[in-house]
Amino acid sequence: MLNRMFRIKASEFTIHLITMQRINYQHLFYFWNVAREESITRACEKLHLAQPTISGQLTVFEEAVGEKLFYKNGRKMALTDTGRVVFRYADEIFSLGQELTNTLKGRPTGRPLRLVLGVADALPKLVVYRLIEPVFQLPEPVQIVCYEDKAERLMAEISLQGIDLVLSDAPLAQSSSANAFNHLLGECTVTVFGTPQLAAVYRPDFPRSLTGAPFLLPTSNTALRRSLDQWFDTENIHPKIQAEIEDSALIKTFGSGGAGLFVAPTTVETEIQRQYDVEVIGRIDTVKERFYAITARRKMKHPAVTAVLENAREKLF
């Protein structure tokens, strides 16, 4: 455990920490508390220290790192991208320190395995849950920290070693990072859904009936939208685009209210019908939605990552 703690080297940060000969853990501790409290004032109250003390030490720490770690967001102290990376390491360092204290005192730690998960905002949330569901069934308890963002930003976090696993609808570009791997989890066709009222109108003569049909589509920056546009062109279908929505869950929410038809992966067809009270209008067999896992090189043997990869390939798809 001690070896694990001290293997966290400055070179791993891939930021200006590389210029630091030695991390001042007192400064890191102050930074960690301010980040957790989102306020210098609250951190001072917690640590029983004067505000100038912590403010001064934070300034020294930022100068040593060579990057700004915080920015003001209203009354809160928010983390910069570099600050988020430093915070994740600090969180693990001080959690390990508490574990060491408990171990030396003969108390069980009960500290679960940690999985930092990134989810591309375009991914259907039901598929995401199905992908990570096996993690909750592992014999060893796992604590999941889940972030949702643009796929590009999440993949950048992998290069900074802040995220263990990214689930995305597109692979990581080969030139992006030598320290990450693409895994094609699987692919499936898509289904067109709508409320019972819309289904009664547009299910007959599918897919020709889709010309002029009100549609809720993902935004043009997603792989699914590009595939759908190509299919519409090939089939000479011209839907009426009611809305372009980036978040897949929001599309389904709009669709359940009757705002328009929408598509989703066929693999979760039953769950979508039940959860959103919609019906199947038809299936598009030539449009495939692909799902990728991008893993950090150092986390390839993480048991939670292994569970996700094996479940997707053997059961889900």
pLDDT in tens, 253-305: 999 999 999 999 998 999 999 999 999 999 999 999 889 988 876 555 778 88
In the predicted structure, residue 13 carries a pLDDT above the cut 50: no
In the predicted structure, residue 18 carries a pLDDT above the cut 50: no
In a domain, 12, yes or no: yes
Q: pLDDT-based confidence at 6, cuts 50/70/90? A: very low
Residue 141: is the preceding peptide bond cis (ω within 30°)? no
Average pLDDT over residues 185-209: 95
Q: How many CB atoms lie within 10 A of CB 1?
A: 9
In a domain, 308, yes or no: no
The CATH number of residue 61's host domain is 1.10.10.10
Closest C-alpha among 19, 3, 155 to residue 11: 19
Q: Report the pLDDT value the prediction gives residue 14, as an integer from 0 to 100.
A: 42
In the predicted structure, residue 25 carries a pLDDT above the cut 80: yes
Q: Report the pLDDT value the prediction gives residue 8, as an integer from 0 to 100.
A: 39
- Structural domain count, the chain: 2
| Better pLDDT: 175 or 172 | 172
pLDDT in tens, 56-75: 888 888 888 888 999 988 88
Q: pLDDT-based confidence at 177, cuts 50/70/90? A: low
Q: pLDDT-based confidence at 182, cuts 50/70/90? A: confident
Tokens 């996700």 identify what position?
A: 308
In a domain, 34, yes or no: yes
In a domain, 95, yes or no: no
- Look at residues 62, 90, 118 and tell me which one is the last residue of a structural domain: 90
Q: Which two tokens stand for residue 102?
A: 């408990």
Q: Report the pLDDT value the prediction gives residue 176, as an integer from 0 to 100.
A: 55
In a domain, 314, yes or no: no
Rounded Cα–Cα distance for residues 136 and 179 (Å): 27
Q: Report the pLDDT value the prediction gives residue 256, as an integer from 0 to 100.
A: 96
In degrees, to the nearest 5, what angle opens at C-alpha 78 toward C-alphas 74 and 80? 130
Rounded Cα–Cα distance for residues 252 and 256 (Å): 6
Query: Is residue 126 within 8 Å of 275, Cβ to Cβ?
Result: yes
Query: Residues 6 or more apart from 156 whose CB is under 8 A from it?
Result: none
Average pLDDT over residues 23-33: 86
In the predicted structure, residue 86 carries a pLDDT above the cut 60: yes
Question: Percent of the chain scored above 70 by pLDDT?
Answer: 83
Domain span at residue 232 reads 187-288
Average pLDDT over residues 241-246: 94
Q: Which two tokens stand for residue 287?
A: 């449009």
Question: pTM of the entire structure?
Answer: 0.61
In a domain, 100, yes or no: no
Average pLDDT over residues 222-239: 94
| Better pLDDT: 306 or 258 | 258
Q: Report the pLDDT value the prediction gives residue 74, as an integer from 0 to 100.
A: 85
In the predicted structure, residue 117 carries a pLDDT above the cut 80: yes
In a domain, 127, yes or no: no
In the predicted structure, residue 200 carries a pLDDT above the cut 80: yes
- Look at residues 90, 113, 147 and tell me which one is the last residue of a structural domain: 90
Task: Compute the Cα dihedral for 294, 296, 300, 305 and give only its sign.
Answer: negative
Burial zone of 162 (CB within 10 Å; 0-12 exposed, 13-18 middle, 19+ buried): buried
Rounded Cα–Cα distance for residues 79 and 211 (Å): 47
Burial zone of 104 (CB within 10 Å; 0-12 exposed, 13-18 middle, 19+ buried): exposed
Q: Which residues of 52-70 are buried (b: 16+ CB within 10 A; e: fewer)?
A: eebeebbeebbebbebebb
In a domain, 147, yes or no: no
Strand partners, 193: 262, 280
Q: Which two tokens stand for residue 218?
A: 């993902």
Query: Residues 6 or more apart from 51 whose CB is under 8 A from it?
Result: 40, 41, 44
For the chain, strand residue ranges (E) read 70-73, 76-79, 113-120, 142-149, 165-168, 180-194, 214-217, 240-244, 262-265, 279-296
Question: Percent of the chain scored above 90 by pLDDT?
Answer: 33
| Better pLDDT: 148 or 228 | 228
Query: Residues 6 or more apart from 25 whose CB is under 8 A from it?
Result: 93
The CATH number of residue 224's host domain is 3.40.190.10
